C-alpha cells in the first residue's frame, strides 16, 4: 500500500511540473505563424502547439515512468487503456479558443492505473490556475482545497459544450441548453470541457453538460470533480465510459444534476 501511495505522490508532482512546463508553450504562442491542420472538419483542428505539448508530456513523463503508455488526442493508436500506467492527455483542451487567441484553454493530463483514473491535472496558463487531485486525497486549485457548490441549480451558472465535432447532437444540445437556461441563473459556453468541469469542481458553476466528448476531454477533470465532492454521469445517468469510447457528460452535485432535467 505504501508503494502505491508513494507512486501516487510521485505521479502528482511530476504531472503538475509537466503541466506547468506545457503552459509555457501555450503562452509563447506566435499566432501569426500558426500551422492549422483540419482533422475531421473546419471545427476540428490541430496546430504545431498541440503536437509540441503532447511531445513534451510524452518525453517528460516517459523518462520518469518508462513503463507508462500514452493515450492522447493527437496520438491514441492501439493504446491499451487497461495497462498498468497510462497517461491520458489532451495537449490543448480548447484548441479553437487557442487558435483564435481567446486565451481560455488548458493542458489536461490524467493518469490511469489498470483502467482506473487515479490522478488528474488541468492547467490554464492564461490565469495561472492549476487544478489537481489524486484519488482519495481531495481536490485543489493552486494547492488550495476546492469543493463543488452546494447551491441549487437556480442559484448557479450552468456551462455546456456544443460538441462541434458531432453535428448529429446539435438539435438535442440546444434543446437541453434552453431547458437548463430556464432552470439556472444563466448559461455559458466557454470552449474547454476540462476547464468547465474544473469550474464546477471549485463552485464557480453548478452544472456542466455536453452530448459527445472524448476520454481525453474529461478524464483529468473527472478525478478533480469527484475529489471535490461532485458527481459525473452520462445522459442516461450511468457512470462515464473510461474505455476511450465517446460519452455524453453531465457534471455537478447530485442536486443540480437531478434538478437539471437532463437525465433521460
Ligand atoms: C474540445 C472540448 C469542447 C468541445 C469540443 C472539443 P479540444 O476539446 O473542450 O468542450 O465542445 O468538441 O472536444 O478538441 O479543444 O481538445
Q: Beta-carbon neighbour count of residue 233 at 10 Å?
A: 19
CB of 174 closer than 8 Å to CB of 222: no
The structure's pTM equals 0.95
C-alpha 226/C-alpha 233 separation (Å) is 11
Protein residue with its CA nearest to atom 13 in ligand 1: 213
Q: Which of 39, 51, 95, 160 to mutate to test the pocket of ligand 1 (most atoms within 8 A of CB)?
A: 95
Which atom of ligand 1 is nearest the CA belonging to 105? 15
C-alpha 131/C-alpha 122 separation (Å) is 5
CB of 91 closer than 8 Å to CB of 46: no
CB of 225 closer than 8 Å to CB of 252: no
Which atom of ligand 1 is nearest the CA belonging to 212? 12
Q: Which of 73, 94, 194 to mutate to test the pocket of ligand 1 (most atoms within 8 A of CB)?
A: 94
What is the β-pairing status of strands 186-188 and 157-160? parallel
Q: Which H helix or E strand runs over 201? A: helix 193-201
Which atom of ligand 1 is nearest the CA belonging to 162? 11
CA of 123 to the centre of ligand 1 (A): 15
pLDDT block averages, 10 residues each, the chain of length 264: 68 97 92 84 88 96 95 81 94 96 97 96 98 96 97 98 94 97 98 98 98 96 98 96 92 96 90
Q: What pLDDT does residue 3 have?
A: 53
Q: What pLDDT does residue 206 have?
A: 98
Q: What pLDDT does residue 1 have?
A: 44
- Sheet strands (E) in 21-85: 36-41, 44-47, 69-72
Which atom of ligand 1 is nearest the CA belonging to 194? 9
Protein residue with its CA nearest to atom 10 in ligand 1: 193
Q: What pLDDT does residue 73 have?
A: 82
Q: What pLDDT does residue 263 have?
A: 92
Rg (CA), the chain: 17
User: Which residues form the pocket of ligand 1, taking CB atoms under 6 Å from any ligand atom?
Assistant: 73, 90, 93-95, 161-165, 192-193, 210, 213, 217
SS3 of residue 25 by DSSP? helix
Q: Which residues of 45-74 are buried (b: 16+ CB within 10 A; e: fewer)?
A: bbbebbbbbbbbbbebbeeebeebbbbbbb
Q: Which H helix or E strand runs over 119? A: strand 116-124
> According to DSSP H, which parts of 91-144 are helical?
95-99
Which atom of ligand 1 is nearest the CA belonging to 166? 12
Amino acid at each position: 500500500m505504501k508503494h502505491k501511495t508513494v507512486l501516487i505522490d510521485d505521479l502528482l508532482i511530476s504531472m503538475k511540473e509537466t503541466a506547468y512546463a506545457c503552459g509555457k508553450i501555450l503562452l509563447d504562442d506566435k499566432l501569426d505563424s500558426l500551422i492549422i491542420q483540419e482533422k475531421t472538419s473546419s471545427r476540428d483542428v490541430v496546430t504545431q502547439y498541440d503536437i509540441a505539448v503532447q511531445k513534451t508530456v510524452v518525453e517528460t513523463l516517459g523518462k520518469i515512468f518508462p513503463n507508462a503508455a500514452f493515450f492522447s488526442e493527437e496520438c491514441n493508436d492501439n493504446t491499451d487503456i487497461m495497462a498498468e500506467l497510462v497517461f491520458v492527455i489532451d495537449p490543448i483542451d480548447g484548441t479553437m479558443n487557442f487558435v483564435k487567441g481567446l486565451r481560455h484553454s488548458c493542458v489536461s493530463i490524467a493518469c490511469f492505473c489498470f483502467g482506473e483514473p487515479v490522478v488528474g491535472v488541468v492547467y490554464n496558463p492564461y490565469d495561472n490556475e492549476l487544478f489537481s487531485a489524486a484519488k482519495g486525497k481531495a481536490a485543489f486549485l493552486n494547492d488550495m482545497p476546492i469543493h463543488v457548490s452546494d447551491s441549487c441549480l437556480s442559484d448557479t451558472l450552468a456551462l455546456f459544450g456544443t460538441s462541434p465535432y458531432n453535428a448529429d447532437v446539435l438539435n438535442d444540445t440546444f434543446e437541453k441548453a434552453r431547458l437548463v437556461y430556464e432552470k439556472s441563473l444563466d448559461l455559458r459556453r466557454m470552449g474547454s470541457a476540462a476547464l468547465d468541469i474544473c469550474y464546477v469542481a471549485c463552485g464557480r458553476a453548478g452544472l456542466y453538460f455536453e452530448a459527445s466528448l472524448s476520454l481525453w476531454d474529461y478524464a483529468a477533470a473527472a478525478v478533480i470533480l469527484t475529489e471535490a465532492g461532485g458527481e459525473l454521469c452520462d445522459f442516461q445517468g450511468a457512470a462515464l465510459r473510461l474505455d476511450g469510447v465517446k460519452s455524453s457528460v453531465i457534471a455537478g452535485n447530485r442536486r443540480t444534476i437531478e434538478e437539471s432535467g437532463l437525465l433521460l
